[in-house]
Structure formats: structure tokens, C-alpha cells
């Protein structure tokens, strides 16, 4: 019973932690531009992260290794370094976007100036990460992120045409500008499969010393947690499609996202939406800062661990701190965080093949996995998603340019 | 020591080094072999440290040129087991490994609640 | 190869950032800003928002309209953008005043319709 409870809590935290600023921006913009027509792309993205997170968890349990240990062992120093540098670049851009998002959410809640809140936000993050035990951090930020469920309520209250919504789950080429549509397909899948998620998940699994007996928990976490997290993405797109598209409102501001909850649900909806956004984005900032630290530490063989006190893993602690500072420096220049968000997702899409190929290779390697290599299902999905990821990686930059970043 | 042959490229190179206390102290950055060209070359030592990447391909060579610090040579006799990581018989400090963390620790310790 | 792509992207973005430039695109943008501002003002009028949110978001919308006004492709668009900016500024300076919000809502709804008309006639 206690175990079921523990699993449920873990899943709750995963749901609340699923959505980050990339998901928010792309899902709401997609809803405002194409209504419900891109829901199928979210399904593809969620399927992808489920497939590969499960693999990472299994690799961690069977081989006691996290992703970047695997990347370096399988690809060697040369390719591994390329993967490290590109992975860090992407992590850093993502982190910068999340930090900017935190400041905007705080500004929408408090009315205080943006730059002041940037500083406050980063300082608060650093203090939380230094002093608060990580188990608490994950729970607090995960549960509070669940406030985003308000968008599910908003979606229902806005009374969308559920027939059209159902249609949206069927892949199509959409009506309207093909390049813009393609850009959103790439962005939605990319936002769901963003690399820091698997780096963070696999490092956590190694740190918790998962062994083959934990493979059931791994599957439950991933299947239930990420599917329900995907529901949040649906809710964002559906409510945006129901409110913004008919009104001809484009979504380039986080305030617009909050408005989508305020219009049907009033003040309570607004506050829940803003609080949910704040904690979901903060959680993502933490995860991406740590992913940066994990990757460097795992590549070079340093001590690492989110549960360790800083003195136990000093270079690791310095690494995540440096990530926070660099992320802050990027957004304090005044660059638009929404712009950084879209770029970070698109650039991470370009890097996705380098992220996921080693995982698929190792998950099939008997020397690492023993009896727990990929079954047929895992390989069918694994290969399918590798192809998907290769296609969108090639298409990402051209679509970014052709669609004028989704503006058409 | 695990019996049976170990694939050096996949089984040892780039793997994590763990000292006798289970402390992470670097990676196997290169291997020192003896008797190449003869019937059975032998691994004599593990070499760790970024300058060891000189022999590891184009990117490795570029990166090793940028790297500061020296390599550390760990005789193969110090290896107690090769599993998912390479386990060593002695403490990291005794083998002059993990010095990066040792150097960083005093800085970190100055801050409150760092332990 | 990737570096070339990144440089190209950055170059295009520097150009793409900021206000749209054609009449119909600008009208579309103004219609969006005005419609959204009207929704916000409507919520303030019904006491369904918060002061901090209304002030911050009205200011953000104001900046959007101001961008179009500064680069307006026609005098008609320029004055419409100016009207939207002024209405949003009024809302931002009194973000909890229900009477002001009601007026602003009407002004923005009219502006949104005007923008749509311009967009349709330009298309």
C-alpha cells in the first residue's frame, strides 16, 4: 500500500513537472493558429518521450549508467564531446527561456518590474537548490505545477466543438500555411521530447539506484505520468483554440496564456493559471540547470547527484550554479524570453538525433542490459521515433525560416 | 577481476573509475598497451585526464590541446574489477585521482550548509 | 553546417523580429491586440481579474500596438494603432477601475472591428 502511494505521488509530481515554457508557448500558439488541428502532433510527442524515457530508466536500472555515461562509452570522446557541447548549448538556451518565463509569471502576479524579478527569481532558485532537500523540491514544484489543470477546466467551460477536437487527433496537413503548420508540428514534438527531460530522468534513476526490480515503477511513472502530463498539453491547445482562434487573437505573450484561463473562470482561474505556470516553469528551470551539470559531470567522471550536499560533489554544484548564472546573463540582456523559448525548442530538435540514437543503441546492447534489452515493442517505437526525430531535425531550421517563426 | 576476455574498446575505455570507497574519480581516457604487434598485447595502465585524448581522434586531439592539467597513470594492477565501471583497489587520493573535486571542495565548504 | 544554419537563422530573425510590415499583416496584428485588450478590459469591468495582471498585460499589449504605430504602413493604421495604445494606456493606469475598463472595452472592440475592415479591404 505504501508503495502504491509512493508511486502515485511520484506520478503526480511527474504530471505537474511535465509542462515547461516550451510546451506552454507552442501548445497555446498552435491552438490560437490552427485550433484543434495539431492535437495529433502532441500525441506523437508524448509517445516519443514515453518510449525513450522508459528506455533510459531501463538502461539506468540494468546498467547503472545515466545517459551521458552511455553517450561517452558508446560514441567515444570525439563524438561524445560534440554531443556534450551541443547538449549544453541546448540546455542553456532552455534554461534561459525558463528563467525569463519565471520573471514574466512573477510580473503578471505581482506587477513588479521584469528585471527586478529576473534577479529575484534566479536568487530564489539558487537558494532553494542549495538549502532545500531535493526530494522536497521535486514534490513542491511538481504538485504546485498541477494547478495547470485549471486549463482542463477552462477547456471544458469554453465549450469547444468536441467533434472538431476529436478530428484534431487524426494527423492531417491542416488548413492554412503549410510552412507554419509544419513549424508547429516540429515545435510541438520537440517541446514534448526536449533533451533535458531524459538526462534528468535517467540521472535520477541512477541516483535512486534503480535495479531490475524497479522496472515496473519505471513503466508506471512513464506511462501514467507522461500521458496525464500530455493531457495538460491538450488542455492548453484546446482552450486556446476555443477562445483565441475565433477572436482572431495571436498568442505571443505569457499573459495571453493566463487570459485563456481568466476569461472562462475569472480571478480564480487566473491565479491558478499563473501559479501553475510559475511552478511548472521553475521546476523546468531546475531540471534543465541540473541536466547541464549532470552532463558535464557524467562526461568527465566527476562526482554528481541531486541528493548530494554540495561539498560531496563540489564541481557538480559549481556546474549547476554556473548554469543558472549563464542563463540569467542571457535573459538579462533584455532578449524576449518567448523568442528564446521558440529558438531553444527548435535548436534542441536539431540535436535530438544525437540525444536519442545512443540510447536506442545501448538499450539493445546485451553487454549493458543483460536480460533487459529492448523487446519488440520498445524497438518498434524506438526506431519509429528515431525516424521521426531525424525527419524533424532536418526540417526544423528550414521551417523556422520559411514560416517566419510561425508568423507566416 | 572478472574472468574471460574484456573488449577493451567497449568494456573499459571511457568508463567510469570508482575507487575502493565507491567514489567517482574520473574516466578511462586512454589505455597504455605493451607488446603491440606481438601475439597478445597487454594493458599496462589506465591513463586519465583530458591531455590523454591526443590519441583519440580529431576532436579528441583538439580538445586535449585546450586542456590544462596533467594526466594520471593508474597501473592495471590497481584494477580490482571491471563491471559497469572500473573498480580500483585503493582510495582516489592515494592514486592521485579526483583532484578536481578536492581542489573545488574548499571553495564550496566556505558557504553555509554545504555539507 | 550547423553553424551556418544558426547564423542564417539569427540573421533572418534580426530582420523578422519586431513589427510586421505589410498593411494586411499590421491590420491583423492590431485586430489581435485590440481583441485581446477588449477581453482583458471586459474581465476588469466584471471584477474578474487582478490589478497586477491587468496592468502588466495591458502594458505588454500596448507595446505590441506601439510597435505597429511606429512602423505603420499607412496613416489610417497609424491612427488606429494610436487609438489602441491610448485605450490600453488608460486601462494600465487604472487596472481595477470597472467604469474605465468598461469604456476601454468599448473603444477596443470598435478598434478591433476597424482593424478587421482594413485587413479585409487590403486582402
CA distance A75 to chain B (A): 9
pLDDT of residue A266: 96
Considering only CA atoms, which of A297, A347, A340, A344 is closest in space to residue A322? A297
- CB distance A263–C61 less than 8 Å? no
Residue A264 belongs to a domain: yes
Counting the structural domains of chain A, the total is 1
pLDDT of residue B3: 41
Task: Print the SS3 string covering A144-163.
Answer: HHHHHHHHHHHHHHCCCCHH
pLDDT of residue B6: 60
Domains of chain B and any CATH numbers: 8-109 (2.30.30.240)
pLDDT of residue A392: 97
Task: Give the chains touching C; criterion: ≥3 Cβ pairs < 8 Å.
Answer: A
Q: Is the pLDDT of residue B2 over 50?
A: no
pLDDT of residue A408: 78
- CB distance A311–B115 less than 8 Å? yes
Q: Determine contact, residues A108/C53, Cβ cutoff 8 Å.
A: yes
Pairing of strands B24-27, B16-18: antiparallel
Chains C and B touch (3+ CB pairs under 8 A): no
Considering only CA atoms, which of B45, B42, B41 is closest in space to residue B32? B45
**Helix, strand or coil for residue B30?**
strand
What backbone torsions phi and psi does residue A184 show, to the nearest 5 degrees? -70, -35
Chunked mean pLDDT (size 10), chain A, 408 residues: 73 80 96 96 96 94 89 88 93 96 98 97 96 89 93 97 96 89 97 91 91 90 89 97 96 96 97 97 94 94 92 94 97 96 96 92 90 95 97 96 90
CA distance C24 to chain A (A): 12
Residue A408 belongs to a domain: no
Average pLDDT, chain B: 86
Quote the Cα angle for A240-A278-A111, to 5°. Answer: 90
Q: In which band, very low, low, confident or very high, does the pLDDT at B1 lie, cut at 50, 70 and 90?
A: very low
**Domain C21-122, CATH 1.10.287 — does that match?**
no
**Cα–Cα separations (whole angstroms), residue B8 to B2, B18, B26, B42, B48:** 13, 17, 17, 11, 15
pLDDT of residue B8: 64
Residue A311: list chain B partners with CB under 8 A. Answer: 105, 108-109, 114-115
C-alpha–C-alpha distance, residues C104 and C51, integer Å: 15
B23: nearest CA in chain A? Answer: A303
Cell representation of residue B113 = 550548509
C-alpha–C-alpha distance, residues A37 and C105, integer Å: 31
**pTM for the full predicted model:** 0.93
**Helix, strand or coil for residue A333?**
coil
Q: Determine contact, residues A283/C81, Cβ cutoff 8 Å.
A: no
- Cα dihedral: A81, A86, A91, A93 (round 10): 150
Considering only CA atoms, which of A302, A301, A293 is closest in space to residue B105? A302
C-alpha–C-alpha distance, residues C65 and C83, integer Å: 9
Of B48, B60, B100, the CB nearest to A315: B100
pLDDT of residue C15: 44
Domain of A67, CATH number, reads: 1.20.1740.10
Task: Give the chains touching A; criterion: ≥3 Cβ pairs < 8 Å.
Answer: B, C
Q: At what angle do helices C23-45 and C98-122 cross, to 10 degrees?
A: 160
C-alpha–C-alpha distance, residues A22 and A187, integer Å: 8
- Say if A207 is an interface residue toward chain B (CB within 8 Å): no
**Helix, strand or coil for residue C67?**
helix
Spatial neighbors of A155 by CB under 8 A, at least 6 apart, are A234, A235, A238, A239, A242
- Say if C50 is an interface residue toward chain A (CB within 8 Å): yes
pLDDT of residue A107: 98
Q: Is the pLDDT of residue C17 over 70?
A: no
pLDDT of residue C41: 98
Chains B and A touch (3+ CB pairs under 8 A): yes
Distinct helix (H) and strand (E) counts, chain B: 3, 7
Q: In which band, very low, low, confident or very high, does the pLDDT at C18 lie, cut at 50, 70 and 90?
A: low
Residue A263: list chain C partners with CB under 8 A. Answer: 39, 43
Residue A199 belongs to a domain: yes
Spatial neighbors of B3 by CB under 8 A, at least 6 apart, are none
Q: Determine contact, residues A347/A93, Cβ cutoff 8 Å.
A: yes
Residue B104: list chain A partners with CB under 8 A. Answer: 314-315, 318
A218 lies in which domain range? 14-402
Amino acid at each position: 500500500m505504501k508503495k502504491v502511494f509512493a508511486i502515485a505521488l511520484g506520478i503526480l509530481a511527474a504530471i505537474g513537472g511535465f509542462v515547461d515554457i516550451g510546451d506552454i508557448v507552442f501548445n497555446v500558439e498552435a491552438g490560437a493558429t490552427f485550433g484543434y488541428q495539431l492535437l495529433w502532433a502532441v500525441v506523437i510527442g508524448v509517445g516519443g518521450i514515453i518510449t525513450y524515457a522508459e528506455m533510459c530508466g531501463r538502461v539506468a536500472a540494468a546498467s547503472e549508467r545515466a545517459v551521458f555515461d552511455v553517450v561517452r562509452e558508446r560514441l567515444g570522446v570525439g563524438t561524445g564531446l560534440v554531443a556534450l557541447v551541443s547538449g549544453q548549448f541546448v540546455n542553456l538556451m532552455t534554461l534561459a527561456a525558463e528563467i525569463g518565463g519565471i520573471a514574466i509569471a512573477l510580473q503578471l502576479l505581482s506587477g513588479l518590474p521584469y528585471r527586478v524579478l529576473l534577479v529575484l527569481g534566479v536568487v530564489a532558485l539558487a537558494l532553494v537548490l542549495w538549502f532545500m532537500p531535493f526530494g522536497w523540491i521535486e514534490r513542491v514544484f511538481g504538485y504546485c505545477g498541477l494547478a495547470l489543470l485549471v486549463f482542463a477546466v477552462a477547456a471544458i467551460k469554453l465549450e469547444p466543438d468536441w467533434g472538431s477536437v476529436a478530428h484534431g487527433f487524426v494527423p492531417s496537413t491542416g488548413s492554412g500555411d503549410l510552412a507554419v503548420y509544419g513549424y508547429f508540428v516540429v515545435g510541438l514534438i520537440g517541446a514534448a521530447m526536449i533533451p533535458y527531460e531524459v538526462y534528468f530522468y535517467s540521472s535520477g534513476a541512477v541516483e535512486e539506484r534503480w535495479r531490475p526490480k524497479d522496472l515496473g515503477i519505471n513503466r508506471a511513472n512513464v506511462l501514467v505520468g507522461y500521458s496525464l502530463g500530455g493531457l495538460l498539453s491538450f488542455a492548453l491547445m484546446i482552450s486556446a483554440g476555443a477562445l483565441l482562434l475565433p477572436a482572431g487573437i495571436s498568442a505571443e505573450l505569457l499573459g495571453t496564456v493566463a487570459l485563456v484561463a481568466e476569461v472562462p473562470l475569472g480571478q480564480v482561474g487566473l491565479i491558478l493559471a499563473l501559479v501553475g505556470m510559475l511552478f511548472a516553469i521553475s521546476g523546468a528551470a531546475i531540471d534543465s540547470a541540473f541536466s547541464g551539470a549532470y552532463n558535464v559531470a557524467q562526461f568527465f567522471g566527476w562526482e554528481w547527484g541531486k541528493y548530494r550536499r554540495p561539498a560531496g560533489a563540489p564541481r557538480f554544484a559549481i556546474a549547476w550554479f554556473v548554469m543558472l548564472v549563464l542563463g540569467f546573463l542571457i535573459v538579462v540582456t533584455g532578449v524576449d524570453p518567448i523568442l528564446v523559448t521558440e529558438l531553444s525548442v527548435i535548436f534542441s530538435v536539431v540535436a535530438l538525433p544525437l540525444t536519442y540514437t545512443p540510447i536506442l543503441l545501448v538499450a539493445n546492447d546485451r553487454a549493458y542490459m543483460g536480460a533487459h534489452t529492448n523487446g519488440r515493442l520498445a524497438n518498434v517505437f524506438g526506431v519509429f521515433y528515431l525516424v521521426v526525430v531525424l525527419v524533424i531535425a532536418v526540417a526544423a531550421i528550414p521551417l523556422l525560416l520559411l514560416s517566419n517563426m510561425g508568423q507566416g | 577481476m572478472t574472468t574471460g576476455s574484456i573488449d577493451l574498446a567497449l568494456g573499459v575505455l571511457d568508463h567510469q573509475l570508482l575507487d575502493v570507497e565507491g567514489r567517482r574519480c574520473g574516466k578511462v581516457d586512454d589505455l597504455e598497451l605493451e607488446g603491440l604487434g606481438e601475439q597478445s598485447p597487454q594493458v599496462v595502465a589506465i591513463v586519465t585526464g583530458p591531455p590523454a585524448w591526443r590519441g583519440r581522434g580529431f576532436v579528441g586531439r583538439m580538445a586535449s590541446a585546450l586542456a590544462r592539467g596533467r594526466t594520471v597513470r593508474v597501473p592495471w594492477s590497481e584494477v580490482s574489477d571491471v563491471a559497469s565501471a572500473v573498480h580500483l583497489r585503493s582510495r582516489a587520493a592515494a592514486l592521485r585521482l579526483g583532484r578536481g573535486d578536492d581542489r573545488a571542495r574548499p571553495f564550496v565548504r566556505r558557504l553555509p550548509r554545504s555539507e | 553546417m550547423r553553424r551556418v544554419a544558426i547564423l542564417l537563422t539569427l540573421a533572418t530573425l534580426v530582420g523578422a523580429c519586431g513589427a510586421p510590415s505589410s498593411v494586411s499583416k499590421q491590420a491583423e496584428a492590431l485586430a489581435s491586440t485590440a481583441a485581446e485588450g477588449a477581453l482583458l478590459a471586459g474581465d476588469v469591468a466584471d471584477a474578474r481579474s487582478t490589478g497586477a495582471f491587468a496592468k502588466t498585460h495591458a502594458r505588454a499589449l500596448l507595446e505590441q500596438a506601439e510597435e505597429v504605430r511606429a512602423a505603420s504602413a499607412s496613416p489610417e493604421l497609424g491612427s488606429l494603432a494610436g487609438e489602441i495604445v491610448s485605450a490600453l494606456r488608460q486601462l494600465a493606469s487604472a487596472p481595477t477601475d470597472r467604469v474605465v475598463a468598461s469604456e476601454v472595452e468599448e473603444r477596443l472592440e470598435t478598434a478591433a472591428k476597424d482593424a478587421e475592415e482594413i485587413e479585409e479591404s487590403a486582402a
